[in-house]
Amino acid sequence: MDAINKFDASLAFGQYDRYLKALCYYWKGESYYRMKDYDEALSYYRNFLQTDGAVELNEYAICHYNIGYAEFKRKNYREALNWFKRFESMDKGQNRQILGDAYNRIGDMYFIDARYAQAIENYDKAIRIGTTDVDYALYQKGLSAGVMNRHTEKIGILGEILDQHKGSNYTADALYETGRSYFIMTQVDNAIPYYTRILQEHPNSSYLRKSMVQLGLIYYNKNNSDKSLEYYKKVVTDFPGTPEANNALLGIKN
């Protein structure tokens, strides 16, 4: 709150310096955003945009991006999309890292709204800029392709994470989703190595028990009851009471 009080004091001089007045509104908005008071942040961001002289400042374009994030945090996704797109139209290439992030958020808004082709278009823009979270953009692009039943394309996209972004936070996600797409395509022999890699390389992943259940099902369908029971029993033993353990129990009964 100390920073906010200082900005309030500075506003008293706003009648002498319009840029100072505008920036005080902007930084009050930033302060409230960092305090997670998004309603107040939005109020001051909008005051900034409406203040004489604001349009001449570097913060003017960035403020549109910030409003997009504040609306995103409030789950006003369509409003967030509008503000991110306004920022996109204003940016002249001087904020490439922020622009790349904005493309990811625009992609997210379209993904949430089930407009998957538009989502892919914007994830592609983020990938081309290549400044930040390229692995995230690839993962989301892959998911979008999968939702549209373009599983071969999805597998290729996720393969870029596995091949070109080793150590990515989305490696386990990419492995699981690749296995899942092969399973959906009934190419179960191709799915097995991806689920197995999760067990071997990502033992603390949230996908571990899901992968075990999938392997149990695959081996059941391949009439390998011993191997199927091995995976099902391990899920029941290691993760009791979880939805995956319940699925494994059904598999054991079968």
The answer on 13 and 56 residing in a single domain is yes
Q: Where are the beta strands (DSSP E) in the chain?
A: none
The answer on 155 and 54 residing in a single domain is yes
30 in a structural domain: yes
**CATH classification of the domain holding 114:** 1.25.40.10
Domain that holds residue 213: 206-254
The answer on 155 and 244 residing in a single domain is no
How many other C-beta atoms are found inside a 10 Å radius of the C-beta of residue 84? Answer: 27
The answer on 172 and 82 residing in a single domain is yes
**Per-residue pLDDT tens for 98-146?**
999 999 999 999 999 999 999 999 999 999 999 889 999 999 999 999 9
Residue 212 CA, distance from chain mean position? 25
Q: For residues 14 and 231, what is the distance between their CA atoms, to the nearest angstrom? A: 69
Residue for token digits 């393969």? 159
195 in a structural domain: no
The answer on 159 and 212 residing in a single domain is no
The answer on 246 and 132 residing in a single domain is no
**Per-residue pLDDT tens for 36-72?**
999 999 999 999 999 999 999 999 999 999 999 999 9
* Structural domains of the chain, count: 2
pTM: 0.90
The answer on 57 and 181 residing in a single domain is yes
198 in a structural domain: no
- Residue-level pLDDT at 49: 97
219 in a structural domain: yes
Residue 13 CA, distance from chain mean position? 42
